[in-house]
A and B are shown apart, each in its own frame.
Chain A
């Protein structure tokens, strides 16, 4: 991280395995940086105040709300976004396929945050854990369509395929 002449700060970050370097204003949210500066619009922003979890991404392997971090803070770190899940040829990951098969989404707006949060849960509980653990894991992500039951079934299904996230 280094300051430039016009008040911008240079950020070097690895996103989905690829290195990026950009100059940003310190107040630029990480969520806006990912979408606007890197062009990775899979990460959605909804409330932008940390309530909804839709913008959840993985920072160094842990979920964080990307709207509650500034881009300057991720200099030297590694991020994974929803774009990291599917294969380059477009084949869905087992988790994404399970959401598709079990109606784990309707409008799709919360889905990127839900998927990254579910991925973290499955990375830690390859067998899916208990239903209560799944509910606890996604408690911080709001979905206004599904009623959550199908999301829980999707995560359970992804676990039972034995392929994880």
Chain B
């Protein structure tokens, strides 16, 4: 099938539709506006529902309702909007409702800027809302991978009955790259059977109740233990990463998303100068791929984490490396993006 030149945001939206998503609820915010814009055009064409809610809070609660009724449903936003959604996300996690939440990150905190950032890593990987929960977080580093991971997000959501986050930054939302869209038709991927969904009771089965309220603490603890077992299962089965030239590397860079692309350019320049540098790129940020870092700690002399933040993923890298080797950090914040040259000079300092 011919490749199309698509903007990241539009590619995510089309990938969602091709993954069987038929409900989208959202509220505008830069730099992800092309997702709702695209959905507003496409959803009516495929018999789906697009609704611009009056706020992010209502959008996420519409997601709760649609998911509770068994629909494949998505919402998208950027930092400030995702913060508003957190109460609903915690409810979705508690009620074990599948959905996909896209966060195209911008500079923060507060209203911040509209330029690219990775400052929402903590929020995404630590649950984000109240209570003990984690959500799978997928971090694409190209438009093509954004298509793959959006599709995967819906499958993971249904498989584990959990919200799944697709975490990108303003660059991946705005840039255009060739993509190959899965060509299995627009309605080929119906949501799998969901006996737990509340679709109306006909008396033949127990009532489906969508709920995250457990007044009795001993019951709630059992619910929490079940959630924790599910999270452990996800950690075991769904961790994903990509590595480049780690085998002989003295210095291993840790970077995700578009930051990993910039790091890749810097690594090429460093290698051309004879420096042995490689990279581990987490594709799932939760579950975090600790194992490849632990392994690399045996052969590498040091690590360098590069982020568009003040240093968030570096915590997970340090937990994985467990003090065996130094873990350096370089980051820019506020919507400023580290340049290839910046990263190269940090590589030279760390080698």
Chain B binds chain A: no
Q: Show the binding face of B for A, using Cβ within 8 Å.
A: none
Q: Show the binding face of A for B, using Cβ within 8 Å.
A: none
